[in-house]
Amino acid sequence: MTFAIAPDVIESGNERHRGALAEDYDALGRQLARRGIAIEGMTTRAMDFAVAVPTWGVGTGGTRFARFPGPGEPRNIHDKLEDCGVIQQLTRVTPTVSPHFPWDRVKDYNALRQEAASHALGFDAVNSNTFQDQRGQRLSYKFGSLAHADRATRMQAVEHNLECIEIGRQLGSTALTVWIADGSNFPGQSNLTRVFDSYLESLRLIYDALPKDWMVFLEHKLYEPAFYSTVISDWGSSLMAALELGPKARCLVDLGHHAPNTNIEQIVARLIRARKLAGFHFNDSKYGDDDLDSGSVDPFRLFLVFNELVDAELRRAEGFAPAYMIDQSHNVTDPIESLMASAMEIQRAFVQASLVDRELLQVVQDGNDVLLAHRLVKQAFITDVSPILSEARRRKGGAIDPIGLYRASGYRGHKTRERPPVEGTSAGIV
Ligand SMILES: [Mn+2]
């Protein structure tokens, strides 16, 4: 038997915080009532919110310089599911996991689906990987994959994506996320038009193989590993591709895949309007694709993204059904702690954005009362909704203080004994 956090440990842990939470929740409820907001409605929204955890996120990440493995880190998809299960058990906001192939490859995917269910987890979008070569791979992706100059290499990359769809079908997924590292490092290295055409030709084959209820999420990225140009570098290229492919193709926004200071919330608004917003890879950054914990550097930006999302939800924007996923690299923290904190920060931004009085905001905007319009949005952001998040977790059987309880449980220590370290565990930055 492997170690697991027992339900009564959560209950007794919550007992210690219950009195303080009740006081804080009541106080916040009175404050919100004065603003015409019923706290119970917000708690229900918090309880209904969900964000997927990436299987690669529970492994220790690294930079291009080094990776410093953490103790007791997962060695395979089975260990990863166990860790993802703990994140869901304590936060109750991450009921699905987003797997990555071939990193998470197994023989029996029906069994894997059942194994995930035993941890109260389902599967979210499957991610293909043509940005690195696998052992025994026939043709190399050094100079590209879906947009490679050589047709046979492109077809190999297409085949891999088709296999991912088949695996995802068995796991109960309904979406494939495609991020390619294709691009060029030198001006003149490739023809900017021809590589985009090749990409579209490959994507067409993948698109045509999608099951009826499936979507393909196109993930753009400004640079890295290609440092001069990337084939799908921005939301414009992504939107062009998605429009050309058809209704089952949408654009996925990874918050770290933009130039510094880009107005991402405006990109989100545009993609919603085009009915092409697939969803998100949440993370935070200071300079580039830093893959830091969501809300750790610029929580206001995360809030402003959710401000657009909640606005679209409440006005019932056509075709609006974004998929929320985390995509981070945890290099110096315990990945379970980082993912729990991140999931709660994302949920926090969602609840904060839900506090905005949108009817009043529109009146104020139309009246050109600039400062009041800004204050209405800012007031939602500065409201501490922690008691709502804690109460939502408590009602769903989670922990009032997930990180405190996780540390007290000794989970990582147990796993360190159960999981002897192995060389070359899969952890990546995508
Ligand atoms: Mn990503």
Strands (E), 294-342: 323-326
CA 55 to ligand 1 centroid distance, Å: 13
Q: For residues 1 and 273, which has the higher predicted lDDT (pLDDT)? A: 273
Could you tell me the pLDDT band of residue 80, with boundaries at 50, 70 and 90? very high
CA 126 to ligand 1 centroid distance, Å: 12
Residue list, CB under 5 A from ion ligand 1: 254, 281, 327, 430
Contact (CB, 8 A) for 157 and 105: no
CA 386 to ligand 1 centroid distance, Å: 27
- Compute the half-sphere exposure of residue 138: CA atoms within 13 Å on the CB side of its CA: 9
Q: Shortest CA distance to 375 belongs to which of 356, 388, 389?
A: 356
CA 244 to ligand 1 centroid distance, Å: 22
CA 430 to ligand 1 centroid distance, Å: 5
**pLDDT tens per residue across span 123-170:** 999 999 999 999 999 999 999 999 999 999 999 999 999 999 999 999
Three-state DSSP class for residue 238:
helix
CA 254 to ligand 1 centroid distance, Å: 5
Structure tokens at 62: 């690294």
Residue 14 has pLDDT above 60, yes or no: yes
Long-range contacts of 272-277 (CB under 8 A, 24+ apart): 272/308, 272/309, 272/312, 272/317, 272/320, 273/317, 274/239, 274/243, 275/317, 275/318, 275/319, 275/320, 276/239, 276/242, 276/243, 276/249, 276/250, 276/251, 277/250, 277/251, 277/253, 277/320, 277/322
CA 18 to ligand 1 centroid distance, Å: 37
Residue 428 has pLDDT above 90, yes or no: no
Residue 420 has pLDDT above 50, yes or no: yes
Distance CA 54, CA 360 (A): 38
Residue 272 has pLDDT above 80, yes or no: yes
Contact (CB, 8 A) for 350 and 300: no
CA 112 to ligand 1 centroid distance, Å: 24
**pLDDT tens per residue across span 176-190:** 999 999 999 999 999
Structure tokens at 341: 């904190």
CA 38 to ligand 1 centroid distance, Å: 36
Percent of the chain with pLDDT over 70: 98
Q: Shortest CA distance to 81 belongs to which of 117, 44, 106?
A: 117
Residue type at position 65: F
CA 59 to ligand 1 centroid distance, Å: 16
How far does the chain reach from its first CA to its final CA, in angstroms? 34
CA 429 to ligand 1 centroid distance, Å: 7
**pLDDT tens per residue across span 285-317:** 999 999 999 999 999 999 999 999 999 999 999
CA 420 to ligand 1 centroid distance, Å: 29
Contact (CB, 8 A) for 113 and 170: yes
Structure tokens at 280: 């998100």
Distance CA 146, CA 200 (A): 9
CA 100 to ligand 1 centroid distance, Å: 11
Q: Shortest CA distance to 79 belongs to which of 63, 103, 95, 47?
A: 103
